[in-house]
Amino acid sequence: MRRLVLGFGLGLGSGAALAGAAELIVQVKPSVLPVGTFNPLDSPRFGFRGSGFVVGDGNLLITNAHVLPERMTQSTALEPKLAVLVRKGPDSAEMRPAALVQLDRSSDLALLRFEGTPLPALRLGGPQTPREGMDIVFVGFPIGGALGFSPVTHRGMISSITPIALPSGRSQQLNERAVRRLREGSFNILQLDATAYPGNSGGPVLNVETGEVVGVINMVLVKGSKETALSQPSGISYAIPVSFVRDLLGSP
């Protein structure tokens, strides 16, 4: 795959251990964005669909593939347009157009490029970074606009790293990468002892000690309806390991 990103070090400084979750949250929040669609004829004009986080050169964003509307994964020429929201102050946000760059349905990840001034990018952990017992936080927009578009942080730990397979919704979604993954069998998923909600999909999971991204929240793996997830949360959430993000970016 062509290398899309040459570095991952923007935004959070050195790899030294951070003082704690409070300091990490302050640094991470500007890099976690609402992902959705924009249509000037809709009300509201921005249709929230999930969370995402900035990587690479500051104009690239990782989210879940299932966050995107189906037709957006086929043609970005159709209305409504992909977009992200960037906070400009306590009570204002800027809508920025986005476009699909890469898609991997086998790991349920998507890479977008958004317009405008680059934002601080999160650092990615190495392929072997996630480990059981690691203290983590994950940041996103649970329940979408119902709570406003201020990033919300949950804290927990990686309780298990276990094999799992993400099924494709239909045969047309089985691209070459997906077929290869199915032939190879299941892959490891991060199980977290913290509760994610609808809207958290695509948000980063971060190592509290280093601030590095170790995974991406994936709500497809939460069983039951949105109402069940809200009224009877299991206290368990799942994330795609950061190694799949590196694969999507073309980084070793």
Question: What digits encode the pLDDT tens for the residues 28-65?
Answer: 999 999 999 998 877 788 899 999 999 999 999 999 99
pLDDT for res 64: 96
∠ CA 144-134-31, rounded to 5°: 40
* Chain mean position to CA 22: 21
Q: Rounded CA gap, 95 and 204, in Å?
A: 21
The question of whether 108 is a catalytic residue gets the answer yes
Average pLDDT over every residue of 177-202: 76
Please report the pLDDT score of residue 14 as a whole number: 40
Residue 225: per-residue pLDDT: 45
User: Residue 222 has what pLDDT?
Assistant: 54
Equal fold, 31-114 vs 135-249? yes
Q: What is the DSSP letter of 205?
A: E
What is the second-level CATH architecture of the domain 135-249? Beta Barrel (2.40)
Beta bridge partners of 215: 205, 241
Average pLDDT over residues 96-122: 95
pLDDT of 13:
43
Residue 171 makes CB contacts below 8 A (sequence gap 6+) with none
Selecting among 31, 107, 108, 154, the annotated active-site residue is 108
| b/e burial code for range 190-224 (CB count within 10 A of at least 16 → b) | bbbebbbbbbbbbbbbbbbbbbbbbbbbbbbbbee
Cα distance between residue 112 and residue 219, in whole Å = 19
Give the integer Cα–Cα distance in Å for 90 and 56: 26
The C-alpha angle 132, 126, 5, rounded to 5 degrees, equals 145
- Name the active-site residue from 51, 106, 168, 201: 201
pLDDT at 199 over 60: yes
- Determine the Cα–Cα distance for residues 129 and 126; give it in Å rounded to an integer: 5
The answer to whether the pTM exceeds 0.75 is: yes
**pLDDT of 197:** 85
Residue spans per domain, the chain: 31-114, 135-249
Q: Residue 206 pLDDT > 80, yes or no? A: yes
Pairing of strands 60-64, 46-55: antiparallel
The one catalytic residue in 31, 66, 104, 251 is 66
What is the CB neighbour count within 10 angstroms for residue 117? 9
Contact (CB, 8 A) for 88 and 38: no
d(Cα 232, Cα 80) in Å, to the nearest integer? 33
pLDDT at residue 147, as a whole number: 65
H helices, E strands: number in the chain: 4, 12
What pLDDT is recorded for position 41?
78
Span 111-121, mean pLDDT? 97
Q: Is the dihedral of CA 163, 166, 171, 173 positive or negative?
A: negative
Q: What is the CATH number of domain 31-114?
A: 2.40.10.10
Q: Is residue 111 a contact partner of residue 54, using CB atoms and an 8 Å limit?
A: no
Amino acid 184: pLDDT: 53
**Residue 152 pLDDT class (50, 70, 90 cuts):** very high
* Percent of the chain scoring above 70 in pLDDT: 72
